[in-house]
Amino acid sequence: MALAKGSLVMVEYESRAKGGEGTIETTRGAGGAHSARLVAVGEGWVLRGLDTALAGMSVGERRSIEVPPEGAYGARDPKKVRMIPLRKLGEDAEKVTVGDEIDLDGRKGTIRFIGSGRVQVDYNHRHAGKAIVYEMHVVRELTGDAERASAIVDRGMEGIGRGTAAALSGETLEVSIPESLFRAEGLQAAKQSIRRDMFRFVPAVRRLRFVEEHLAAPPKPTATRAEFLAAGASGDAGQARKAPGAAAGLRPPGQYRAP
């Protein structure tokens, strides 16, 4: 059965330019194993042509999908290739070589040629004009509200850090941010993006609470002076309160309180 628009599916894939060798995108991690990725079908989360093809797939299916340039990174536009004086690259002029990607006047381009004080920059997308081939595997569809909600939180926090937990109770989803991420860059933007996707794809969630919880340190162990002495400290309480490293019977300060 084909996937409906807005279905949330976990997919594994690898892509390369048709006829090319190098991998463009992959869900494989550093260890080589796939780590499935969340995609909302037909919602523009992936390249347009891939999105369309995905909608025709079923859960569990593996398929090789060829996306033509128009559905991927667009056709190549020869007018986007420019010769510019090498000195426009400023300090980089000495360093660049053919194939380098540069950022010039806010646009990304690739160096195609260098010579006689000029450099040819191609402002077409690196993969423009290429058909892209995906080896796609639709691992499963997320249907339960709780798992859909969790997957959206995980996707939103990708790149921020790990350890976020989500719990659905009635119409309320509580998302706990771990203390290690309280000051992570991009955290507030990630919450906004989770909010947007949550209300769109998990209508059962009407209330989304991001919680940052701090716990008081556990109280320090304390004992009265009498208890301390009774516990076997040798006679002289004054000695017993000396700094650590000194003679036997010593305790760091603050471990007993006056009775």
Residues of this chain that interact with its own copies (CB under 8 A) are 182-183, 187-188, 191-192, 195, 199, 203, 205-217
- Taking the C-alpha atoms of residue 10 and residue 141, their distance in angstroms, rounded to an integer, is 6
Nearer to its own copies, 143 or 172 (CB): 172
DSSP annotation of 108 reads E
Contacts of 193 (CB under 8 A, 6+ apart): 156
Nearer to its own copies, 98 or 189 (CB): 189
Contact 8, 153 (CB under 8 A): no
Closest distance of CB 198 from its own copies, Å:
8
Closest distance of CB 244 from its own copies, Å:
25
Q: CA end-to-end span of the chain, whole Å?
A: 75
Closest distance of CB 189 from its own copies, Å:
8
Nearer to its own copies, 217 or 243 (CB): 217
Closest distance of CB 153 from its own copies, Å:
13
Nearer to its own copies, 132 or 177 (CB): 177
- Taking the C-alpha atoms of residue 88 and residue 109, their distance in angstroms, rounded to an integer, is 13
Q: How far is CA 178 from the centre of its chain?
A: 15
Max Cα distance, the chain (Å): 93
Closest distance of CB 156 from its own copies, Å:
12
Nearer to its own copies, 56 or 203 (CB): 203
Residue 20, helix vs strand vs coil: coil
What Å distances lie between residue 18 and 21, 131, 168, CA to CA? 8, 5, 43
DSSP lists the bridge partners of residue 176 as 165, 211
Nearer to its own copies, 89 or 205 (CB): 205
Residue 18: Cβ within 10 Å count: 13
Closest distance of CB 4 from its own copies, Å:
17
Closest distance of CB 87 from its own copies, Å:
28
Nearer to its own copies, 57 or 202 (CB): 202
- Taking the C-alpha atoms of residue 171 and residue 154, their distance in angstroms, rounded to an integer, is 19
